[in-house]
């Protein structure tokens, strides 16, 4: 094996059980992989634009070189179709932007994993699931795109659990954590359009995230009632945003989104309401100083530090990234905490897509 992080089928002795060989060498995510034969690799390289030696990026913390051939190998192993390749490439280019701090995400003791959310026509074209059970099993595109990203983080980035990956617990999204926004059922403009891209553009959004925290509300018939349940899920002292600020995501289920839209609310109204209401008492965050006086330098300097101060979960409404996804039956949504101020999310166009209104930057991470 070389720096590719994988061995091709033609590089082993005849009769070798390739699936078992990959397990033995530690080149899988714990599940069987598709053997990357020369023919499969060549097809995938072509889908990436040819030139197998072309360097797409370096992947921390090992800073392995992700050439197109190496990416193709991992795409094949994950079970991707060739038309998934542009999404995976764009996601990895987003993850390796400095602002995302993939080195920290890969090595942290926290359970954060990169969550990738796809917008635009490509999601439907390649058959991604934005509806029922979108965070779960059953869809090849969602599962294998997310898995290919993880295999690259393992095989090229060196994020092996217990070695460079120091996550105390991890979470299931470290197998695969990829969905699409349900634009066709959403009553709001798509996320990428809200950020300046054209509706016909395709994008990937990446955020270091905890698992989805379920929000149930089968009672409210107005925006405030639904959002108050989301505020409740956000306002705890246990997740990383509470103690480290940063960014988070909120995924509105279709029924909740339609109820909110029926009250005449827009995306900006939702984000501002959640930011204004989702707060914790600093005394609770500091455990009333009973373990010693706590200042918490991880929180922005302008946050109040007296015990009765109401501390926002994130610094501004723009730090709440709002999506609509899921099936059309069931009054559920999800709050997805981020890793805190240590990582910034990145939105990136696929295949050269760029914002129509000029560059859009998130804490220094510009879309290219």
For the beta carbon of residue 137, count every other beta carbon within 10 angstroms. 9
Provide mean pLDDT across the span 24-42: 95
Report residue 93 as tokens.
Answer: 């280019």
Is the pLDDT score of 362 beyond 80?
Answer: no
CB 184 within 8 A of CB 146: no
Q: By percentage, how much of the chain surpasses pLDDT 70?
A: 94
pLDDT at 152 over 60: yes
Residue 316 pLDDT class (50, 70, 90 cuts): very high
In angstroms, rounded to a whole number, what is the distance separating the alpha carbons of residues 261 and 253?
A: 12
Query: To the nearest 10°, the Cα dihedral for 300, 305, 310, 316?
Result: -10
pLDDT at res. 37: 94
Interior/surface letters 61-90, b for 16+ CB within 10 angstroms, e for the rest: bbebbbbbbbbbbbbbbbbbbbebbbbbbb
Tens digits of residue pLDDT in 189-202: 999 999 999 999 99
* pLDDT value, residue 7: 47
Closest to 251 measured CA to CA, from 195, 196, 181, 312: 181
Q: Do residues 200 and 353 make contact, with C-beta atoms less than 8 angstroms apart?
A: no
Local structure of 207: helix, strand or coil: strand
Q: What is the pLDDT of residue 353?
A: 86
Residue-level pLDDT at 356: 82
Distance CA 81, CA 40 (A): 10
* 108: its two tokens: 């942290």
Nearest-Å Rg of the Cα atoms of the chain is 21
Decide if 170 contacts 113 (C-beta within 8 A).
yes
Nearest 10 degrees: Cα torsion 228, 233, 236, 241: -110
Tell me if the pTM is above 0.85.
yes
Alpha-carbon gap, residue 52 to 186, rounded angstroms: 39
CA-closest candidate to residue 204, choices 213, 191, 188? 191
To the nearest 10°, the Cα dihedral for 95, 96, 102, 106? 90
Both structure tokens of 277: 């209401």
pLDDT at 168 exceeding the cut of 70 = yes
- CA angle 252-256-260, nearest 5°? 100
pLDDT at 75: 98
Label residue 144 exposed, middle or buried (CB < 10 Å: 0-12, 13-18, 19+): buried
The residues, any chain, with a CB within 8 Å of residue 211's CB and separated by 6 or more, are 111, 171, 172, 173, 336
How far is residue 194's CA from residue 315's CA, in Å, rounded to a whole number?
Answer: 20
123-140 mean pLDDT: 98
Structure-token match 């994008």, residue found: 203
Of 10-19, 60-69, 300-309, which gets the smallest average pLDDT?
10-19
Would the pLDDT of 175 be above 60?
A: yes
pLDDT at 85 over 90: yes
**Helix extents (H) in the chain:** 18-25, 38-47, 68-78, 85-95, 102-107, 121-125, 140-155, 191-194, 223-234, 240-244, 254-262, 267-277, 282-285
Tokens 């306002």 map to which residue? 235
Q: Residue 154: name the closest of 166, 165, 143, 169 by CA.
A: 165
What pLDDT was estimated at residue 13? Answer: 82
Q: Are strands 248-252 and 320-324 parallel, antiparallel or unpaired?
A: parallel
Residue 15 pLDDT class (50, 70, 90 cuts) = confident
């Amino acid at each position: 094996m070389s720096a590719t992080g994988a061995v091709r089928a033609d590089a082993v002795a005849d009769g070798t059980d390739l699936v078992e060989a990959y397990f033995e060498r530690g080149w899988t995510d714990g599940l069987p992989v598709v053997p990357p034969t020369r023919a499969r690799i060549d097809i995938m390289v072509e889908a990436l634009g040819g030139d197998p030696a072309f360097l797409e990026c370096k992947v921390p913390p090992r800073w392995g070189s992700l050439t197109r051939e190496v990416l193709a190998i991992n795409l094949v192993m994950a079970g991707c179709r060739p038309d998934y390749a542009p999404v995976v490439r764009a996601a990895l280019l987003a993850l390796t932007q400095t602002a995302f701090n993939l080195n920290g995400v890969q090595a942290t003791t926290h359970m954060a994993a990169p969550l990738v959310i796809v917008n635009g026509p490509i999601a439907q074209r390649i058959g991604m699931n934005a509806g029922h059970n979108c965070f779960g099993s059953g869809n090849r595109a969602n599962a294998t795109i997310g898995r290919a990203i993880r295999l690259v983080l393992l095989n090229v980035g060196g994020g092996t659990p217990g070695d460079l990956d120091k996550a105390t617990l991890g979470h299931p999204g470290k197998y695969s954590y990829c969905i699409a926004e349900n634009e066709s059922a959403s009553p709001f403009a798509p996320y990428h359009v809200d950020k300046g891209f054209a509706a016909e553009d395709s994008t990937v959004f990446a955020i270091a995230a905890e698992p989805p925290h379920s929000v149930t509300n089968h009672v409210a018939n107005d925006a405030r009632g639904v959002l108050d349940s989301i505020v409740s899920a956000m306002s705890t002292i246990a997740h990383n945003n509470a103690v480290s600020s940063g960014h988070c995501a909120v995924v509105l289920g279709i029924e909740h989104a339609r109820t909110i839209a029926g009250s005449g609310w827009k995306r900006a109204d939702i984000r501002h309401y959640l930011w204004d209401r989702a707060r914790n008492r600093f005394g609770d965050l500091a455990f009333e100083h009973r373990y010693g006086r706590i200042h918490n330098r991880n929180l922005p300097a302008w946050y109040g530090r007296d015990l009765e101060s109401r501390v926002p979960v994130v610094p501004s409404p723009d730090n709440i990234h709002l999506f609509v996804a899921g099936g059309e039956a069931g009054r559920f949504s999800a709050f997805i905490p981020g890793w805190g101020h240590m990582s910034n999310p990145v939105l990136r166009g696929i295949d050269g897509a760029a914002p129509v209104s000029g560059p859009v930057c998130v804490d220094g991470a510009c879309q290219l």
